[in-house]
Structure 1
Amino acid sequence: MAMAGLYRRVLPSPPAVDFASAEGKRLFKDAIEAGTMEGFYRLISYFQTQSEPAYCGLASLSMVLNALAIDPRRKWKGPWRWFDESMLDCCEPLEKVKAEGISFGKVVCLAQCAGADVQAFRTSQSTMDSFRQFVKRCCSADNCHIVSSYNRATFRQTGTGHFSPIGGYHAESDMVLILDVARFKYPPHWVPLYLLWESMDTIDEKTGQNRGFMLISRPRRDPGLLYTLSCTHKNWVGIASYLVDDVSQLVKSEDLKDVQDVLRIVCASLPADFGKFIQWMAEVRREADGGSSISEEEKGRLAIKEELLEQVQDTGLFRHVSHFFCSTADCQRVLASGIEENVHEIATSVCCQGAEILCGKSCSVGCMCCRDTCIKCLKTDDARPISVLSGTVVSGNTEERVDVLLPQNLMNLSSGETDLASCVKAGPASSRILTVLLLALPPETWCGIQDENLLKELQSITLTEELPTMLQEEVLHLRRQLYLLKKCQENRVDEDLSAPLV
């Protein structure tokens, strides 16, 4: 007896033209000659099928992010960093997306969280002529791609709301190529641009808002080279709220005399598991994949991290933070215990973060990290030392040696840096981490400080415009993430599509 189910759908034509048909091939050839298929080559290189019926938004976005060569800064499987639908979970739980789909605003938010530059428009905020100009621009280059949110019914296709990237434009017939990510259902197809506009100019019943389109581009530099904010932890809502809302109220309500008072009041109320909210972007790899060699890519990223960490340490705020923690008895005790213990604590956390990816399980279900740890020093081709902490990740009966590549200045205690966890119960973090996070807070955070001289001093040492360019970009990326998380928390992502102004 035949298995029940559906095997593809017949593409309604007209209005659509199958990409593989004779007419579709002619349109493709003409568009190539006209130069309006430039974005197609990168998109087709990373073309994927959505893995769940409701994952069209996630599949479209991961396809575009990979086509733009945006580094996700975390591993997908094994040693590979790669955008996959399963990694796009910061604006909506995957189980909810699987059951209900995802709104236009939340896909925009996901793209922004991933570090892409995004311009998003609902049809109520644009015109068909403007849309056409955007299509021409993006299809004539390979550094910008358009994802469209539309209603299939306009094309006489089954289903309603859907997301897919636009792969090309045929100017003479005014048709666009839709690279449909539901490839199990319909093949790529050409449709008249005016019909695509009409299909976008419909109301999403779940949000009551018009559908639309977004232009996604690669940023000038990959963000998050040192740290990233994580909203996968259960307490992220409270931590984000504390940083954005509560800190400004705390400094307003207290009679603060100096920067040390400010740090005391901020750290006294840090939420539990604070260290899991801001995470070090670690270089974690299987020992078998790397061996004793350091690739040029790894060496380049470590050099950038080294420079960024030095820039953090050169800030006036860092000197205040370091002095604050080193002046307490708890921190003096940690200093006396030696650097190796601190590095091991940091690396244990790093391995825990990587264990779920490397072993397929989280530490909470019995994965043991950093057993039999050791620190060794490898040298690059130019004889520069690289510190490597190796440990054994154990999951059930499986054991795997893991390397954590550490910038050399993390091994140096001459600055007086110590482990913030021992001082403020903040998890595996450091004075550098707290410095960067305080710099990332909105500038208005400190406006309620009553002492005018203290306010001027704090505004001076937290001024992002005075930071070196690389560190400024790092800090502004974290600030942007904070704003985005707050928008998600307040359920405003479908009301406000713009990127945060930082």
Structure 2
Amino acid sequence: MKPQAINTTIRRCLITLLCFSIFYLLTHAPAFASPLVHWDSHEGIDRLEKSAVKNDFFALATHFEGQQNKVYCGVASMTVILNALRVGRDEHVITPDESIIAPQDRGYFPQNNWSPLFERYTQNTVVDLSPKTKLEIMGKPRKEKEKEQASDYGLGLSDLAGLAKNHGLTAHAYFVKNAVTHAEQKASLIDALASQDTYAIVNYSRVVLDQAGSGHFSPVVAYHKASDSFLIMDVSNTFQTWVWVDSDKIFEAMSIKDNGNSRGFLVVSEA
């Protein structure tokens, strides 16, 4: 066979091999190649089933509720966790939210000190102990002389830690500043998820995840080792679903600053 014919044959073989390789990658690539996977998709369900760190999912799903408004993501996350820690247990007295049913609407209820309300936390009762006032959460500057500054809506990570402590919880804030500490902080996050009655809330930028919105809080409730991803139980359930997020991606999202302050995650438990 002539050299030119041999070269042509080799080129054809290489092209065939390349086409086969591309076809194989497209049809056999692991589903966890995507940084975001909906929890109720086939892949999302499979991750939850195979996850060895998922107890928080079941504990918090029982008490899950969406945020009441667009600035209460931190408040809603803390409400879910407080109810998971304390509802049905005798260690704490939970004052019912009297605003749910007005006094004038209770005329036909039994009058012998019977209450129509459940003993559980609501976002209204949780926010009452916030380090920021309700108006400050709604954007009012903390100092009158700073009226012209940009409004600081919602809570920061330090504010959320203060809210947890004001409710008698132990709170440890992990500030994600750069990639140097990611491995150590990821281990701490996984350890919190694996510990009983210990919960974690992530504070991240939605922009990094290509989601609508900006800064956000939500509980993280499971870890899947094979895909190296965390399951976020998003409290903005009116327009976002719960998602598995690639570990590197969520830490990148937590490293984006919030009005000059570091984001990260909060680990809480009973004091």
**CA contact under 8 A between 1:149 and 1:162: conserved in structure 2?**
yes
**CA contact under 8 A between 1:147 and 1:165: conserved in structure 2?**
yes
Q: Distance in 2 between matches of 1:38 and 1:156?
A: 28
Query: How big is each residue's C-alpha offset from its partner over 1:425-482, in whole Å with a ceiling of 9 and x where there is no partner?
Result: xxxxxxxxxxxxxxxxxxxxxxxxxxxxxxxxxxxxxxxxxxxxxxxxxxxxxxxxxx
**CA contact under 8 A between 1:135 and 1:169: conserved in structure 2?**
no
**CA contact under 8 A between 1:60 and 1:147: conserved in structure 2?**
yes
In structure 1, the residue matched to 2:269 is: 217
Trace 1:72-471 onto structure 2 (pairs within 5 A).
Answer: 73-77=94-98, 78=115, 79-87=117-125, 88-90=127-129, 91-99=131-139, 100-124=153-177, 127-205=181-259, 208-219=260-271
Please report how far the alpha carbon of residue 81 of structure 1 lies from its aligned counterpart in structure 2 after TM superposition: 2.8
* Percentage of identical aligned residues: 26
Using a 3 Å threshold, how does the CA distance of structure 1 residues 111 and 44 change in structure 2: closer, same or farther?
A: same
**CA contact under 8 A between 1:55 and 1:98: conserved in structure 2?**
no
Q: How many residues align?
A: 202
Structure 1 counterpart of 2:72, from 52, 55, 71: 55
Q: Distance in 1 between matches of 2:49 and 2:57?
A: 12
Please report how far the alpha carbon of residue 75 of structure 1 lies from its aligned counterpart in structure 2 after TM superposition: 2.5
Using a 3 Å threshold, how does the CA distance of structure 1 residues 72 and 61 change in structure 2: closer, same or farther?
A: farther
**CA contact under 8 A between 1:122 and 1:212: conserved in structure 2?**
yes
Q: Distance in 1 between matches of 2:177 and 2:35?
A: 24
Q: Distance in 2 between matches of 1:98 and 1:107?
A: 15
In structure 1, the residue matched to 2:30 is: none
Please report how far the alpha carbon of residue 72 of structure 1 lies from its aligned counterpart in structure 2 after TM superposition: 5.7
**3-state SS of the aligned residue for 2:177?**
helix
**CA contact under 8 A between 1:117 and 1:217: conserved in structure 2?**
yes
Q: Distance in 1 between matches of 2:56 and 2:93?
A: 21
- Structure 1: 5+ residue stretches without partners: 1-12, 220-502
Bigger relative CO (Cα 8 Å, ≥ 6 apart): 2
Using a 3 Å threshold, how does the CA distance of structure 1 residues 169 and 183 change in structure 2: closer, same or farther?
A: same
Q: Distance in 2 between matches of 1:60 and 1:136?
A: 18
- Structure 2: 5+ residue stretches without partners: 1-32, 99-114, 140-152
In structure 2, the residue matched to 1:413 is: none
RMSD (Å) for aligned C-alpha atoms: 1.9
**CA contact under 8 A between 2:77 and 2:219: conserved in structure 1?**
yes
Please report how far the alpha carbon of residue 14 of structure 1 lies from its aligned counterpart in structure 2 after TM superposition: 3.9
**CA contact under 8 A between 2:94 and 2:121: conserved in structure 1?**
no
Q: Distance in 1 between matches of 2:267 and 2:222?
A: 14
Please report how far the alpha carbon of residue 142 of structure 1 lies from its aligned counterpart in structure 2 after TM superposition: 3.0
Please report how far the alpha carbon of residue 161 of structure 1 lies from its aligned counterpart in structure 2 after TM superposition: 0.4
**3-state SS of the aligned residue for 2:223?**
strand
**2:40 pairs with 1:20:** yes
Structure 1 counterpart of 2:61, from 24, 37, 44: 44
Please report how far the alpha carbon of residue 139 of structure 1 lies from its aligned counterpart in structure 2 after TM superposition: 2.2
Structure in which a larger fraction of residues adopt helix: 1
**CA contact under 8 A between 1:146 and 1:216: conserved in structure 2?**
yes
Please report how far the alpha carbon of residue 124 of structure 1 lies from its aligned counterpart in structure 2 after TM superposition: 3.1
Query: How big is each residue's C-alpha offset from its partner over 1:20-75, in whole Å with a ceiling of 9 and x where there is no partner?
Result: 000101111110xx2x1011111111111001011101000111111112736422
**3-state SS of the aligned residue for 2:50?**
helix
Q: Distance in 2 between matches of 1:20 and 1:72?
A: 36
**CA contact under 8 A between 1:72 and 1:83: conserved in structure 2?**
no
**3-state SS of the aligned residue for 1:127?**
helix
Please report how far the alpha carbon of residue 174 of structure 1 lies from its aligned counterpart in structure 2 after TM superposition: 0.6
**CA contact under 8 A between 2:223 and 2:230: conserved in structure 1?**
yes
Counterpart of 1:169 in structure 2: which amino acid?
Y
Q: Distance in 1 between matches of 2:195 and 2:159?
A: 26
Q: Distance in 1 between matches of 2:72 and 2:229?
A: 26
